[in-house]
Amino acid sequence: MAGSRTQSHAPAVPLTPVGHPISPTHRQIDEPTSGTEQDSPKLRNSLRSSAKLLESDASVKNSDESNIKTGLSKSQTNVFYASKPAWSSALLAWLAEIIWCFVSIGSVVALVIVLNVFDDEQLPQWPLGLTLNTLVAFLATLARAAFVIPVSESLSQLKWVWFRRPRMLKDFQDFDAASRGVWGSLLLLKTTRGWSPSLISALVLVSAILTSTLTQSAVTYPVRMAPINGPAQATVSRSTYYFYNSAGTHNNLIYRQSVDQHLFEGLSYDYAKMYPLSQARCPTSDCEWQTYSSLSVCTRYWNVTDSLNITSQRVNTAAPIPVFASLKNGPSANLTQPHFGLVSLTGVENTISALSEPSYNPELSIYNMTFIYSLRKGTTDIDMLGATEVEMYFCVKTFNLSVTGNIEERKLIQTTTNFETGNYTLPDGRGPFPLSALQDPLDRETRFPLGPTGVITQSLVSALNGTYIDLASEASTLGLAPARYLTALQSQIQPNVSNAMHVERAIRNVTDNIATSMSNKIAQDSTNVTGQVLAAETFVQVRWPWIAFISAQIGLSAVVLVYTIVHTQLSGVGVVKSSTLPTLVAIDTESKGTLESELVRRNSLGEVEDAKIKSELAWRLGLTERGWRLKT
């Protein structure tokens, strides 16, 4: 009012509530203390016009007219100062703000529901190019707009509560600015010296700038491999039974040749590497399979060097040298011939150690052999002499298989030999036959039947028998099993290193490669396991902690509103909020006149800067028993 008059150099017009006669104080301001001659007539004319207008209002007649000069009575100011109403009436006055609180809560609830529906799901494809972020931004913006309104209205109401005690008139403007924006709310902290309601309000209003951004941060769109539907399938071969009918010479010959081929593939494979199982077929670069089981060929080893019966004699040396080594179940090796390396393979019906092995089952055994070896540094001094027993038998292996970036990864989970006998029908419909069977560990109702192993055993007997001496054997024997084993053994010998472990590892590597190759053979005649073909897919991932930010804002907004409602009710101040009308009628006419006189005086002195006037007007506004009054 007066500030506007000062800035524009217009005459100071006293703002007196409509319906009340003008105070004598206003009528006495006929001339400013000092000023231009042009402004004084304008000011006097304006004051006289206002006085005539108010005096002509016939409705301004009441019993409290005598109190207007010093302050409005409570009966006349009940719009901004009233006796305590009922709580129901107080809540009704705040109904709009309460509704806005529920709107903000509902927006966040809707946001949580939407995010929960799409969390960990494929990125939705909506019409018109709309995205999930669009919906999240809309709900977050709606929630922000809704929780800011109660805070702004609460600040507007709290300024009247603040002035229940005399305060600087400038505080009134600071509260009004705080209810309008972020910067004002920060300045109010200085005015109120960290008053809790102003602090919480500033926190809500300032953080509201980041509401939409941080809420959208709750949604990310990583990429994962997901199953796709199509004609191409991911498959891997496995064996669910072994049964070969050896009737018919021609068929038997063909099958024997196939078994021999697989056996020598494993035997000739690099002994420093593991022979691979049948490669899985994946039409894309990524596939995965559920854990599956397959009938396989397994191996078991026993070091029986301590059981060797060694015969020694002196041959032009100070110490006797071994010339013969044998085991009690028959296998032996003649060590008299000069050699750097010697390997003797002998097939046996039962190994020495197998009989004491708890898990040994002759019904599952395919082939048993004894491995005797001799390694020398020279032609006479023996560096290593040992023996190992090997068993090849049927087992069930369980695998985890996946293909990632065209690289296959197959992990062995377990090996089992749960054995039983009975009449079984083969998966191809043949049978039933009285057979042995192994139980599938993944499905106790599933059995893997086993037929006679004659053809496989014959191939192993032919291949894994014989002796190879590096300085005496024929060149034609280099490709046979004893020579392959010796090559593997000699490659593991290292100076100044204990070689027993390396030799045992070499024997295992060669034999395991043969067993794996034979497993691939029996899997060719069985069934396939179908997996899932994967492709890159963008999906929705919700980071729920980010939702706590907007939830906290709504909670703080509700706290400010509840505090304002309760404090207003207990203070006996009427619910005014941001209404401008109470501001026009709150201050008594005498105080207004005094203030306007001071402003006119300052204007005549050329003090027109708004900031300067505000800083030098040390007026205080406070609530008294006779109404709101300004004091110097």
Q: Alpha-carbon distance 288 to 228, whole Å? A: 12
Q: What is the DSSP code string of 126-160?
A: -GGG--HHHHHHHHHHHHHHHHHHHHHHHHHHHHH
Q: Indicate if the pLDDT at residue 300 is higher than 90.
A: yes
| Residue range 495-508: mean pLDDT, rounded | 73
Q: Indicate if the pLDDT at residue 4 is higher than 50.
A: no
Sign, CA torsion 53/56/59/63: positive
Q: Which is higher by pLDDT, 71 or 364? A: 364
Q: Which pLDDT belongs to residue 602?
A: 66
Lowest mean pLDDT: which of 63-72, 95-104, 200-209, 343-352?
63-72
As given in the structure block, the two tokens for residue 77 are: 């100011």
Q: Which is higher by pLDDT, 329 or 627? A: 329
Q: Which pLDDT belongs to residue 630?
A: 53
Backbone angles phi, psi at 284, to 5 degrees: -120, -170
Q: Which pLDDT belongs to residue 503?
A: 84
Domain boundaries, given as residue ranges, for the chain = 1-80+576-632, 235-536
Confidence category of residue 47, pLDDT binned at 50, 70, 90: very low
- 432: preceding bond cis by omega (within 30 degrees): yes
Confidence category of residue 288, pLDDT binned at 50, 70, 90: very high
Backbone angles phi, psi at 285, to 5 degrees: -85, -10
Angle CA 318–321–326, to nearest 5? 160
| Residue range 165-182: mean pLDDT, rounded | 73
Tell me if 367 sits within 8 A of 460, measured CB to CB.
Answer: yes
DSSP type of residue 33? S
- Cα–Cα distances in angstroms (integers) from residue 223 to residues 226, 277, 352, 401, 533, in the given order: 9, 31, 57, 21, 16
Backbone angles phi, psi at 350, to 5 degrees: -140, 135
Q: Alpha-carbon distance 621 to 174, whole Å? A: 13
Q: Which pLDDT belongs to residue 455?
A: 86
Confidence category of residue 115, pLDDT binned at 50, 70, 90: very high
**What's the whole-model pTM score?**
0.60
Residue type, position 339, single letter: H
Tell me if 592 sits within 8 A of 14, measured CB to CB.
Answer: yes
Tell me if 533 sits within 8 A of 282, measured CB to CB.
Answer: yes
Q: Computed over its alpha carbons, how large is the radius of gyration of the chain? A: 50
| Residue range 31-38: mean pLDDT, rounded | 38
